[in-house]
Chain A
């Protein structure tokens, strides 16, 4: 596959992370580059993850009624 036909897709999971397919690097707000090591990655969208920029499931604690 050449770089010209490479497509990156993003899917917002309701109440959950962004699923990103086809990326090589995710660059965070501070400009730090994070290598992508799997075909599909879940990027944190709630801002509460303990392993930024990746989702670690913490969003569930936010939506769970107490």
Chain B
């Protein structure tokens, strides 16, 4: 993947530093709608995190540990974490006061109480073929590195939660069969839609919230301090997948896309029914048993996942409702460029 097009002063500053074109990092400014919907900030953070995953063909690998870049990343991370903490404070406080509940019950109650808009329901019943393809394009940003963030958490755990996370990741990574690797299955699904399966191919079309979805996972998973939040995030992600995937698979078949596209979502109906239980009980439940002080962070991570998902779903549905979605251009990008359209 090559570096994306900058979207403002922060991402422009990051691109210049990545290319070793020394310059002072840009002053940090934010949009009116908060950092989660700030295209410039989310893209900058996404590039900085990406150095720890597959990187960019036009950036020297050594820049992963460049001090100026790390300093900027720390500032952006701090902003994102603060916004997420303030957005989720009520949900976390409520989950902590559920009477006489064991931890998995608290976590499940928090996840069940989330009430985001149903993108899956819309895809199942109403979406056009172009909108389904638009959805796949946005999803490609995360799903081509699906579950990779949580692998960074493994060495920070010990005992039962480590075993459970390794088991879950083994399944995500194809259970010994490369063609079952979920990232590869998503690539097959993209091809089935006539899209490019190459990692990062649609980064320039990714909306701020699509980038934020990926960034929040990296924010938690790359910091040992936030290991509890990373695993809570994973649990919420897995717990809100099985039923939506069933609906999405139906929508894909309804608009006449090939079976290989639906196959990815079919796999996730069954897989995530298992992963949800493993993540909530064997990973998060066991972690909190070992380290009770992490309970609040696990709930925070789950609530953050749900809050960003709800916001992303809301914006995606709004962009579809207001757009005539010309071919090749993501309706989300246009919505992001003119916030009043939502």
Those of B268-288 within 8 Å (CB) of chain A? 269-274, 276-278, 281
Whether B289 sits at the interface, judged by CB under 8 Å, is no
Nearest B residue to A40, CB-CB? B274
Those of A30-66 within 8 Å (CB) of chain B? 37-42, 50-51, 54-58, 60-61, 63-64
> B274 contacts A38, CB within 8 Å?
yes
Report the minimum CB–CB distance from A22 to chain B (whole Å).
12
Q: With a 10 A CB-CB cut-off, give which of B105, B171, B272, B274 has the most chain A CB atoms.
A: B274
Whether B167 sits at the interface, judged by CB under 8 Å, is yes
Q: How many residues of A contact B (CB 8 A)?
A: 22
Chain B residues whose C-beta falls within 8 Å of the C-beta of A26 in the assembled complex: none
- State the main secondary structure of chain A at its contact with B: loop
Expressed in whole angstroms, the Cα–Cα distance for A19 and B171 within the complex equals: 15
Whether B53 sits at the interface, judged by CB under 8 Å, is no
Those of B245-266 within 8 Å (CB) of chain A? 246
> B277 contacts A51, CB within 8 Å?
no
> B242 contacts A57, CB within 8 Å?
yes
Choose among A40, A42, A64 the residue that contacts B167 (Cβ–Cβ < 8 A).
A40
Nearest B residue to A20, CB-CB? B274
- State the main secondary structure of chain B at its contact with A: helix
> B274 contacts A56, CB within 8 Å?
no
Q: With a 10 A CB-CB cut-off, give which of B171, B269, B272 has the most chain A CB atoms.
A: B269
Whether B175 sits at the interface, judged by CB under 8 Å, is yes
Nearest A residue to B176, CB-CB? A39
Using known A-B contacts A17-B277, A38-B175, determine if residue A57 contacts B269 with beta carbons closer than 8 Å: yes
> B167 contacts A56, CB within 8 Å?
no
Choose among A41, A50, A51, A60 the residue that contacts B274 (Cβ–Cβ < 8 A).
A41
Expressed in whole angstroms, the Cα–Cα distance for A17 and B242 within the complex equals: 13
Whether B112 sits at the interface, judged by CB under 8 Å, is yes
Expressed in whole angstroms, the Cα–Cα distance for A24 and B170 within the complex equals: 18
Chain A residues whose C-beta falls within 8 Å of the C-beta of B3 in the assembled complex: none
Chain A residues whose C-beta falls within 8 Å of the C-beta of B246 in the assembled complex: 50, 56-57
Chain B residues whose C-beta falls within 8 Å of the C-beta of A41 in the assembled complex: 270, 274
Whether B243 sits at the interface, judged by CB under 8 Å, is yes
Report the minimum CB–CB distance from A6 to chain B (whole Å).
18
Chain A residues whose C-beta falls within 8 Å of the C-beta of B242 in the assembled complex: 55-57
> B273 contacts A38, CB within 8 Å?
no
> A55 contacts B112, CB within 8 Å?
no
> A13 contacts B274, CB within 8 Å?
no
Chain A residues whose C-beta falls within 8 Å of the C-beta of B271 in the assembled complex: 38
> A16 contacts B277, CB within 8 Å?
yes
Chain A residues whose C-beta falls within 8 Å of the C-beta of B270 in the assembled complex: 41-42, 51, 54-56
Expressed in whole angstroms, the Cα–Cα distance for A14 and B107 within the complex equals: 13
Nearest A residue to B177, CB-CB? A37
> B171 contacts A17, CB within 8 Å?
no
Using known A-B contacts A13-B281, A56-B269, determine if residue A19 contacts B243 with beta carbons closer than 8 Å: no
Choose among B112, B167, B170 the residue that contacts A60 (Cβ–Cβ < 8 A).
B112
Expressed in whole angstroms, the Cα–Cα distance for A2 and B296 within the complex equals: 44
Chain B residues whose C-beta falls within 8 Å of the C-beta of A16 in the assembled complex: 277
Those of B199-233 within 8 Å (CB) of chain A? none
State the 6 A-B residue pairs at the shortest beta-carbon distance, nearest first.
A57-B242, A55-B273, A57-B243, A42-B274, A42-B273, A13-B277
6 contacts between A and B (CB under 8 A): A40-B278, A42-B277, A50-B246, A55-B273, A57-B276, A58-B243
* Interface positions of B (Cβ within 8 A of A): 105, 112, 167, 170-171, 175, 242-243, 246, 269-274, 276-278, 281
